[in-house]
Amino acid sequence: MQLSDGFEGKLMPAGATAGAAVPTPLRGTAKYLPLRKALNRAAPYVFIAPAAIITTLALAYPMLQSVWLSFRDWSLGTPLGQSRFVGLANYEWLLHDPNFWASAAVTLTFAFAVVVVEVLLGVMLAILLDRELRFVSLFRTIFILPMMVAPIVVGLVWRYMYNEQFGTFAHLLKALGFAPVPWLSSPKLALISVIIADVWQWTPFIFILSLAALQSLPASALEAARIDGATHWQMVWHIKVPLMMPVIAVAALLRLIDAFKVLEVIYILTEGGPGLSTEIMSLHIYKTAFVSQQLGQAAALSNMLLLIVLALTVIFAALTAVRQRREKLAAARR
């Protein structure tokens, strides 16, 4: 671009009208230059456009629609045109709805419990399997399998295993001479049972990310620790885990966000019962929308869930930004 600009300038003395003094082929170039310039400027937007359009259609539109919907009273099965604008009534309702608070409590308990257990188990498994043993890659693959199973199937499998009469656990307990355990029918146990199923499915996620983090640790730092006299566990505790921390933090956040939105497995296992003991927010939203048929209220509920997840993400992004700024400052001190 710059080259041809200079070229054009030299050939056109001040005051000369474009076209008159310039030979024909160059006049052509001059004529098309503005267009080329414009195209060049537009190029990045053209490249971004497909992604931007898809994001708008698939993400922003439903989100805005849901916000708009949350200000209206709309019953399932009636035309949207007949819905009424009700202002903040839906939000007022949910703040006074004990079921909302109950499901919020269940969701928080569920989400933090699964993340803590999955992180502990996943990191431990990764540390145990981060070595060159025979069949180790086979084990790694086996451990990752649960993550690949569709959540509905996971729900069905665990529902069968938890079954009090003919489930796998019932057989096992009976064979060992224990009384049957009401895995899904006791309000006290149901949430724990649901947590176990989720841990089974999603520990592999933490596991593979931790394993990847472990395998990318600086080899020489680990060798230095060996020479410094660290035992295997001292190395894990003083070197490996601290260095894995950034990856573990991201993996845990991703799991936390996901855990807030979990639906299928719990829907299949307990449908939120007994009582409200396993009714997490997304299930509550589902029931409000399709059982109570209150779409406006359901929209308000899902916006609350969105806010919670958004808040988590913002907190995490802020932490990352703080760390990055610290690192930049550190680099500047050199």
Partner 1 sequence: MPSIQIKGLQKRFGALSVIDGLDLDMADKEFTVLVGPSGCGKSTTLRMVAGLEDASGGEIWIGNREVSRLDPKDRDIAMVFQDYALYPHMDVARNMSFALRLARYPKAEIDARVTRVAELLSISHLLSRKPRELSGGQRQRVAMGRALVKDASVFLFDEPLSNLDAKLRSQMRAELALMRKRVEKNMIYVTHDQIEAMTLGDRIVVMHGGKIQQQGSPSDLYRRPANLFVAGFIGSPPMNVLRGELSEAGGRLCVRGSGFDLALPDQRGAALAGRRDRAVIVGLRPSSIRSGATQDGASSLSVNIRLAEYVGAHSVLIADCGGEAVTIEVNSESPFASEGAAQFWVEPESIHLFDPVTEAAI
Pick from 276, 264, 131: which is nearest to 191 by CA?
A: 276
Least distance in Å: CB of 320 to partner 1? 16
- Residue position matching structure tokens 């509905």: 152
**Local structure of residue 17 (DSSP, 8 states):** P
Least distance in Å: CB of 114 to partner 1? 27
Least distance in Å: CB of 250 to partner 1? 17
Of 87 and 218, nearer to partner 1 (C-beta) is 218
Question: Exposed/middle/buried for 133, CB within 10 Å: 0-12, 13-18, 19+?
Answer: exposed
Interaction between residue 221 and partner 1 (CB under 8 A): yes
- Give the gyration radius of the chain's Cα atoms: 30
Of 10 and 333, nearer to partner 1 (C-beta) is 333
From 146-154, 205-213, 241-249, 252-260, span contacting partner 1 (CB under 8 A): 241-249
Select from 228, 233, 290, 321 the one that contacts partner 1 (CB under 8 A). 228
Residue type for position 201: Q
- Binders of partner 1: how many residues, by CB under 8 A? 22
Of 127 and 298, nearer to partner 1 (C-beta) is 127
Least distance in Å: CB of 332 to partner 1? 9
**Chain-centroid distance, C-alpha 262:** 11
Select from 230, 263, 276, 308 the one that contacts partner 1 (CB under 8 A). 230
From 39-47, 119-127, 131-139, 218-226, span contacting partner 1 (CB under 8 A): 218-226
Beta strands in the chain (DSSP E): 72-73, 84-85
Least distance in Å: CB of 225 to partner 1? 7
Residue 332 structure tokens: 């500047």
Interaction between residue 87 and partner 1 (CB under 8 A): no
**Chain-centroid distance, C-alpha 71:** 27
Residue 268 structure tokens: 């299949």
Side-chain half-sphere exposure of 297, counting CA atoms within 13 A? 22
Pick from 188, 154, 107, 109: which is nearest to 265 by CA?
A: 154
From 58-66, 110-118, 193-201, 213-221, span contacting partner 1 (CB under 8 A): 213-221
Angle subtended by helix axes 295-333 and 241-260, to nearest 10: 160
From 106-114, 201-209, 222-230, 299-307, span contacting partner 1 (CB under 8 A): 222-230
Select from 174, 238, 323, 325 the one that contacts partner 1 (CB under 8 A). 238
Least distance in Å: CB of 214 to partner 1? 15
Question: Exposed/middle/buried for 140, CB within 10 Å: 0-12, 13-18, 19+?
Answer: middle
Interaction between residue 14 and partner 1 (CB under 8 A): no
Interaction between residue 220 and partner 1 (CB under 8 A): yes
Residue 212 structure tokens: 């990847």
Q: Which chain residues interact with partner 1 by CB under 8 A?
A: 218, 220-221, 223-230, 234, 238-239, 242-243, 245, 327, 330-331, 333-334
